[in-house]
Amino acid sequence: MAETYTISNEALDRLFQAMAQDGRRILAPVDADGRIELQLVARPADVAQGYLQTILSAKETVFPKVERLLSYELEPSKVDLKDATPQALPTVLFGIRPCEASAFAALDAVFNWDTRDAFFNARWQNLAVIGMACTQSDAACFCTSVGGAPDSTKGSDILLKPLADASGYQAEVLTDKGRAIQALVPECFLSSEPSPFSPAVVESAFDQPALTAKLPGLFDNELWVDQSLRCIGCGACAFVCPTCVCFDIQEEADAKKGERLRCWDSCGFSMFTLHASGHNPREKQSQRWRQRVYHKFSYYPQRYGMLGCVGCGKCTRACPVDMNLKEHLKDAAEVQA
Amino acid sequence: MADLVSQAKELLDSGAVQVIIGYAAGTNGTRRPHVARSAAQAACLVFDEGCVQNLASYLVKPEVKRFGKAAILARTATARAALQLMAERQIADGSVRILVEAGDSVAVLDSAEALEAHLALQAEGISAKDRELLERLRAMTHAERWAFWQKELARCVKCYACRNSCPMCYCERCTMDCNRPQWVPVPSHAVGNLEYHTVRAMHLAGRCVECGECGRACPVGIPVHLMTFHAEDSVRRQFGSEAGRTAKLDYALSTFKPDDKETFIR
């Protein structure tokens, strides 16, 4: 059972100072010329006001867009191989939304599926999440259709809810990582009864368990062709997605030395799953779009017992051609098999 | 546009075209691309001020081409792109019906000649805001401009929304995706981002129809369209040619003329 506290605005200021003194960097949503971006902050005043979400997700804190895995130098009759060590700085993610906080579990499912990924784990162990419950939503949001909620505690080490009089926050301390943060300035956390909080209203859009049960029978449905005709095959959806985990290994090398890099990949790209033979099992955009939906709503539940989507709506907001995921899933849930 | 839907239905029902590339209502009152293959699917077509996207990239998309002959709703940018695609022999003259605004209905242009005549009457495409930004960039010193683009491109994640939304980026296999040999670094690091955007701007110099689709498509708000606008403008000033104005291929960067300025040789 989580402990409930009140943190005043002044106390939050002191908490930020204490976290910095403890050697942690603080990343939070910041207003950069109207774009909400995750950036380093020093104090609560640096955090954006009234933001809905960041454009890119917080996954880059544990799964950066480019990660060096190893490097090597070639010498006559010798290869000097060097493992890379991840730069896992102690980090606090402040103010990300409950949908994104819950997304780390979907990354964990893949990066610790069999082999434990040293890079992801080093970063994740050094990361604490102070989530911020939502008081607003938009047409792209659908957390409540995929098991989330605007005030869900899933994935947060501490969850904050703004107090109605804007004097501070109600804080639920949820995990050991959260308690370690609390222990930096225990006097800033005042014990209190849960106070009333009005979360954003996000109405359920479709029956997800029914959709997941139905997907295997929809594999050859024309629906995927119809939905993907306007898709231009870029990677915007996958790259803003907090759970998209596909990567590509790139080698940057010359005759004497080289580096092996792990880079974000996207099922939108025409070269996604292109084999060395030249064969591509998903040569059409409709097949790649179907893969995106199935990976998140069919294969993830089968393999990991969870969804690969948190309903944050980032993909919908980022899409240049308005591929609205909530709408597409609703249509899939309602189509005649 | 009262007659749009009935005109579209007639084009499909008569068999004049098999597909109409247009717009429909999108999220939050926006407009999104809509590919209609039947009269029923044409019922939700709209054509108004909110229809800002350049649709011409769908004219060369294999998944859309396979349906057969196409009609496309075209404001100036889409019409210029269609004409440039004809000039570059990506679509055949007469193979596409270009539907342009004409009062309460759409006028059908079905030849490059008709398109040229229509475009000769259309005003320039670059918005006042973009013009102002371009002037600001041009007034900068090299060092300032370098710093500006370093900062902007640091946000790039190489999702290729700029490339894929561009009607003039139609290569089946882009150089950016080649890894045998690898011409440009694939990873989205500083060098990879800079090389990609530089190559893209150079490849569009003299071919950019100035729709700004690349900048609009960018999820992280990098004004990448200013690069291609500037490259296009340089070609216009140096060689007097402009993309998307004629179906006659006259590409400055691959055509030699005895009276070309050679001011770059110093």
Token representation of residue B51: 């229809």
What dihedral angle (degrees, nearest 10) is formed by the CA atoms of A25, A27, A33, A35?
160
d(CA A120, CA B75): 48
Amino acid at A219: F
Break chain B into its structural domains and give their ranges: 2-119, 128-254
Alpha-carbon span B10 to B4, nearest angstrom:
10
- What would you report as the CA-atom Rg of chain B, rounded to the nearest whole angstrom? 19
A192-196, B117-121, B238-242 — most confident range: B117-121
What pLDDT shows up at residue A293? 98
Residue of chain B nearest A38, judged by CA positions: B155
Name which of A77-81, A276-280, B38-42, B258-262 the model is least confident about: B258-262
Residue with tokens 């009234």: A50
Banded pLDDT at A1 (limits 50, 70, 90): low
What is the mean predicted confidence (pLDDT) over A243-270? 95
Q: What is the pTM of this model?
A: 0.95
Q: Point out the residue among B32, B187, B219 whose CB comes nearest to the CB of A250.
A: B187
- Phi first, then psi, for residue A269 (nearest 5°) are -70, 145
d(CA B73, CA B70): 10
> Looking at residue B266, what is its pLDDT?
65
| pLDDT over 90 (residue A63) | yes
Closest partner residue to B160 (CB to CB) among A35, A65, A234 is: A234
- As given in the structure block, the two tokens for residue B75 are 């404001």
Tens digit of pLDDT for each residue in A22-56? Answer: 999 999 999 999 999 999 999 999 999 999 999 99
By percentage, how much of chain A surpasses pLDDT 90?
95
DSSP-derived secondary structure letter, B46: B
Residue B179: list chain A partners with CB under 8 A. Answer: 250
CA–CA separation, A318 vs A316, rounded Å? 6
Spatial separation of the C-alpha atoms in residues A27 and A290, rounded to whole Å: 34
The per-residue pLDDT for A69 is: 97
Where do we find the tokens 């609009």?
B216
* End-to-end CA separation in angstroms for chain A: 43
Residues of A whose CB is below 8 A from B163: 234
Tell me whether residues B58 and A263 touch, CB distance under 8 A.
Answer: no
Tell me whether the omega of the peptide bond preceding residue A281 falls within 30 degrees of 0, making it cis. Answer: no
Residues of A with CB below 8 A from B30's CB?
A: 322
The contact set of A with B (CB < 8 A) is 33-35, 37, 55-56, 65-66, 138-140, 225, 228-230, 232-236, 238-240, 248, 250, 252, 261, 263-264, 266, 269-271, 284-286, 316, 318, 320-322, 324, 327
Cβ B96 vs Cβ B72: under 8 Å: yes
* b (16+ CB within 10 A) / e for A68-97: beebeeeeeeeeeeeebebebeebbbbbbb
Query: Mean pLDDT across the stretch A313-320?
Result: 98
pLDDT grade for A123, boundaries at 50, 70 and 90: very high
B41-50, B186-195, B250-259: which range is least confident on average?
B250-259
Instruction: State the Cα–Cα distance between residues B80 and B125, nearest whole angstrom.
Output: 10
Characterize B154-168 residue by residue with b for buried, 16 or more Cβ atoms within 10 angstroms of its Cβ, and e for exposed: ebbbbbbbbbbbbbb
Give B262's Cβ-side CA count (13 Å radius): 6
For residue A41, what are the contacts with CB-CB under 8 A and spacing of at least 6? A16, A26, A27, A28, A30, A47, A94
With a cut of 90, say whether residue A97 has pLDDT above it: yes
Mean pLDDT of chain B: 93
**Helix, strand counts (H, E) of chain A:** 11, 12
- CA–CA gap between residue B262 and residue A150 (Å, rounded): 63
Task: Give B28's contacts in chain A (Cβ within 8 Å).
Answer: 138-139
Q: What is the pLDDT of residue B262?
A: 76
Q: Which residue has the tokens 């050991």?
A: A176
Rounded to 10°, the helix B76-87/B112-119 angle is: 140
**Model confidence at B180: pLDDT above 80:** no
Total CB pairs under 8 A between chain A and B: 106
User: What residue in B sits closest to A57 (Cα-Cα)?
Assistant: B220
Q: Tell me, what's the pLDDT at B255?
A: 80
Rounded to an integer, the average pLDDT of B74-91 is 96
Nearest to B225 by CA among B137, B162, B158: B162
- pLDDT attached to residue A2: 72
Q: How many residues does chain B have?
A: 266
Phi, psi of B38 (to 5 degrees): -145, 165
CA distance A237 to chain B (A): 9
- Quote the pLDDT of residue B124: 67
SS (H, E, C) A167-204: CEEEEEECCHHHHHHHCCCHHHCEECCCCCCCCCCCCC
pLDDT at B104: 85
Q: Which residues contact A326 (CB under 8 A, 6 or more apart)?
A: A139, A140, A141, A142, A145, A205, A206, A311, A313, A316
Nearest to A272 by CA among A260, A284, A261: A284
pLDDT in the model for residue A240: 98
Residues whose CB is less than 8 angstroms from the CB of residue A247 and which lie 6 or more positions away in sequence, other chains included: A63, A262, A263, A264, A265
Percent of chain A scored above 70 by pLDDT?
100
Q: How confident is the model at residue B1 (pLDDT cuts 50, 70, 90)?
A: confident
Q: For B155-171, what is the mean pLDDT?
A: 97
Of the candidates B32, B160, B164, which has its C-beta nearest A322's C-beta? Answer: B32
CA separation, residue B73 to residues A232, B23, B76, B229 (Å): 18, 8, 10, 24
Asked if the Cβ–Cβ distance from B165 to A234 is below 8 Å, we say yes
In which residue are the tokens 């930004």 written?
B133
Please tell me chain B's helix, strand, coil percentages from 3-state DSSP, rounded to the nearest 5.
Answer: 45, 10, 45
Cβ-defined contact of B188 to A66 (cutoff 8 Å): yes
CB contact under 8 A, A322 and B30: yes
pLDDT at B123: 78
Domain boundaries, chain A: 3-334
**A321·B33 Cβ contact <8 A:** yes
Rounded distance, CA A317 to CA A137, Å? 12
Give the residues across from B25 on adjacent strands. Answer: B31
**For residue B191, what pLDDT band results from cuts at 50, 70 and 90?**
very high
